[in-house]
């Protein structure tokens, strides 16, 4: 997974990532064993006669003829092409949950950042061009990431612009989530905006 995500790495870089910079000789031995086993496993699955994990110019990498894909990379690619549904459903905190390390947290941060970019695009550009689709995608995101504030806020702001009659209900769902999950209250400015909207009806 590390090589798939980062492309290539020196022995030191990989040891730093997988064993927090340890220079313990046993971790070096573990690494050599893992590389041998991984090479064997990949060779058995391949019809090509090649080293699936070549060590070139001091760097380990996945052989360019060995196509490795992951749902996560596919979701990112689709989102960048305007199809963000799958990416919006990824729970970044749950990614590779059995693995600890800065490299894993970097992947999670990348996913969170990409999701926020998508939400901004939905709330901004897409909402201006196609508010119905933007609202549908934002509602989809809230359903899948109901305990995250960002999808709720993007949905509320978009509804305030294009379907103000639905904004109060979305706000109540957000407020309830904040209270039950985090013990917090919504931003007072947003609360006053919703209250003034309801009062003006």
Q: Examine the domain organization and report whether 167 and 144 are in the same domain.
A: yes
Q: How does pLDDT run across 101-149, given as a tens digit for each residue? A: 888 999 999 999 999 999 999 999 999 999 999 999 999 999 999 999 9
Least confident of 11-15, 19-23, 117-121, 126-130: 19-23
Cα 117 → chain centroid? 11
Q: How does pLDDT run across 52-76, given as a tens digit for each residue? A: 999 999 999 999 888 888 899 899 9
CA distance linking residue 108 with residue 128, whole number of Å:
30
Check: CB of residue 17 under 8 Å from CB of residue 9.
Answer: yes
Mind giving me the DSSP string for 17-39? HHHTT---HHHHHHHHHHHHHHH
Q: How many domains does the chain have?
A: 2
Looking up residue 96, the CATH number of its domain turns out to be 1.25.40.10
Residue 87: Cβ within 10 Å count: 21
Q: Examine the domain organization and report whether 49 and 141 are in the same domain.
A: no
Residue 16 CB partners (closer than 8 Å, separation 6+): none
Please, what is the Cα angle at 133 between 130 and 138, to 5 degrees? 120
The answer to whether position 66 is within a domain reads: no
Q: How far apart are the first and last CA of the chain?
A: 54
Q: Examine the domain organization and report whether 89 and 30 are in the same domain.
A: no
Tell if the pTM clears 0.75, that is, is over it: yes
Which residues constitute the domain of residue 33?
2-61
Q: Examine the domain organization and report whether 90 and 6 are in the same domain.
A: no
Q: How does pLDDT run across 74-105, given as a tens digit for each residue? A: 999 999 999 999 999 999 988 888 888 888 99
CA distance linking residue 146 with residue 104, whole number of Å:
23
Q: Examine the domain organization and report whether 176 and 124 are in the same domain.
A: yes
């Amino acid at each position: 997974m590390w090589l798939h995500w980062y492309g290539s790495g020196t022995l030191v870089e990989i040891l730093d990532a997988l064993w927090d910079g340890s220079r313990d000789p046993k971790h070096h031995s573990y690494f050599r064993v893992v590389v041998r086993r991984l090479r064997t496993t990949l060779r058995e699955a391949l019809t090509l006669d090649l080293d699936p994990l070549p060590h070139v110019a001091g760097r380990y990498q996945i052989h360019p003829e060995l196509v490795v894909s992951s749902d996560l990379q596919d979701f990112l690619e689709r989102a960048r092409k305007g199809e963000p549904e799958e990416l919006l459903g990824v729970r970044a905190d749950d990614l590779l949950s059995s693995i600890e390390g800065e490299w894993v947290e970097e992947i999670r941060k990348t996913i969170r950042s990409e999701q926020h970019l998508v939400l901004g695009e939905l709330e901004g550009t897409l909402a201006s061009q196609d508010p119905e689709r933007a609202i549908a995608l934002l509602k989809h995101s809230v359903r899948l990431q109901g305990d995250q504030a960002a999808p709720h806020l993007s949905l509320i702001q978009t509804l305030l612009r294009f379907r103000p009659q639905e904004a109060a209900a979305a706000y109540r769902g957000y407020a309830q989530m904040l209270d039950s999950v985090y013990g917090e209250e919504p931003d007072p400015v947003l609360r006053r905006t919703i209250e003034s909207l309801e009062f003006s009806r």
